Amino acid sequence: MPSAARPTESTGPRRVRDVEVIAPNFKRRLSGVTSTIVQLVPEQQKTLGIATLGPGLPKGLPQLGWWQVPGLLARPAGRPFRIWHARRNTEMLAGVVLKHILRAPVKLVFTSAAQRRHSRYTKWLIRRMDAVIATSRRSGSFLDVPHTVVMHGVDVTLFRPQDHDMRDAGDGWAAAGLPGRHGIGCFGRIRHQKGTDLFVAAMIDLLPDFPDWTAVVLGRVTAENKGFADALRRRIDEAGLSDRIVFMGEVPDVKPWYRRIDLYVAPSRNEGFGLTPLEAMASATAVVASDAGAYGEMIQPGRTGAVVAAGDGAALTAAIGAYLARPELACAHGQAGLGHVRAQFALAREAEGVRAVYDALWASA
């Protein structure tokens, strides 16, 4: 489930000449890439003249209109060229056209999160980039060009632990209105790739022995995955656990749910990067995850959570069971995860890493 958009006042550049960096978003539907732009641009905006371009983004972000695109053919104020920071093939192609056909003063940067070999077409585009960023060492291993690893971060002011001194008890498990004393969650779109079936199977196996725990599944079911989700619900009903494995659908705000649960599970079979374990750890919640995406590079096994082989249902069940048997272990690992994310994965750290790539390009001019 991509994180909710961060509301922000637009204080970014209103004139094209003041735009130093363009973050195009050529996909209207909310996705992980879109979520990255939504979270990162406000942080970058603190030190850069940055603007987004494209549909599907909150109005609060600094944005250029399509009618302003011809202004990109002129140099920006105070810079020899602009940075065009693409994250998809379509955006790389637009940058290539802008630079090599329209002769706009731009340099091209691409961020790659893919955990697979790129197609010939994608490789052709990547070779025309002036700088490439990989979101993890694993995604970098699939690149055939020099690159810099800059891992994604999360806003630790938005994703935060429960404040036990708050009068509002809405962050506690009791506020969920569900059975038991402890919650375990799996958030994201309900589909085979995300491993929702592996999570449900583990819960059917474990929960009868741990009556204090209840499982929550948050996320959207698309039309093509309705049969998949319906089959999972039937399995839950047949196991007599429909009151303890609860499908909540999409929720307006996922952040309180990270604080309510004691353990978060990310059982993806494959993933691009995957922000949800970071969001959970920033909320002081322990994590059990597969080794898909960058999960293995963000979790410290035995300290902030556990990592198992992607698709290995037995290993996932065993790792989860260790926490259900010892809720105090989940608490300890949640606190360790909080410190780890704040030190290594704060959004400001990601913005600094990306800015260093930009500065190196500007310095080379």
Helices vs. strands in the chain: H and E counts, helices first: 12, 12
d(CA 163, CA 160): 9
Report the pLDDT value the prediction gives residue 60, as an integer from 0 to 100: 87
Higher pLDDT, 343 or 171: 343
Report the pLDDT value the prediction gives residue 121, as an integer from 0 to 100: 97
Report the pLDDT value the prediction gives residue 169, as an integer from 0 to 100: 57
Report the pLDDT value the prediction gives residue 270, as an integer from 0 to 100: 87
Mean pLDDT for 189-211 is 97
Report the pLDDT value the prediction gives residue 56, as an integer from 0 to 100: 81
Mean pLDDT for 206-230 is 96
Q: Per-residue pLDDT for 167 more than 50? A: no
Tokens representing 130?
């002036």
Options 3.40.50.2000, 3.20.20.70, 1.10.1040.50, 3.40.50.1220; CATH of 173-344 = 3.40.50.2000
CB atoms within 10 A of CB 334: 25
The class (CATH top level) of 16-153+346-364 is alpha beta
For tokens 């002036």, the residue is 130
Q: 0.75 exceeded by the pTM? A: yes
Given pLDDT bands bounded at 50, 70 and 90, which one contains residue 2?
very low
Q: Per-residue pLDDT for 53 more than 90? A: yes
Tens digits of residue pLDDT in 259-310? 999 999 999 998 888 889 999 999 999 999 999 989 999 999 999 999 999 9
The secondary structure element, H or E, covering residue 357 is helix 347-364
Given pLDDT bands bounded at 50, 70 and 90, which one contains residue 239?
very high
Report the pLDDT value the prediction gives residue 161, as an integer from 0 to 100: 93
Q: Per-residue pLDDT for 10 more than 50? A: no
In single-letter form, the type of residue at position 200 comes to: V
Domain-wise residue ranges, the chain: 16-153+346-364, 173-344
d(CA 122, CA 118): 6
The answer to whether the 16-153+346-364 and 173-344 domains have the same CATH topology is yes
Burial of 352 (0-12, 13-18, 19+ CB in 10 A): middle
Given pLDDT bands bounded at 50, 70 and 90, which one contains residue 166?
low
Given pLDDT bands bounded at 50, 70 and 90, which one contains residue 114?
confident
Report the pLDDT value the prediction gives residue 48, as an integer from 0 to 100: 95
148 DSSP β-pair partners:
133
Nearest to 84 by CA among 55, 43, 52: 52
Under a CB-based contact definition with an 8 Å cutoff, are residues 51 and 62 in contact?
yes
Mean pLDDT for 204-225 is 96
Q: What are phi and psi of 304, to 5 degrees?
A: -115, -5
Tens digits of residue pLDDT in 69-86? 999 999 999 999 999 999
Report the pLDDT value the prediction gives residue 5, as an integer from 0 to 100: 41
Report the pLDDT value the prediction gives residue 27, as an integer from 0 to 100: 85
Angle between helices 196-206 and 313-325 (to 10 degrees): 50
Given pLDDT bands bounded at 50, 70 and 90, which one contains residue 209?
very high
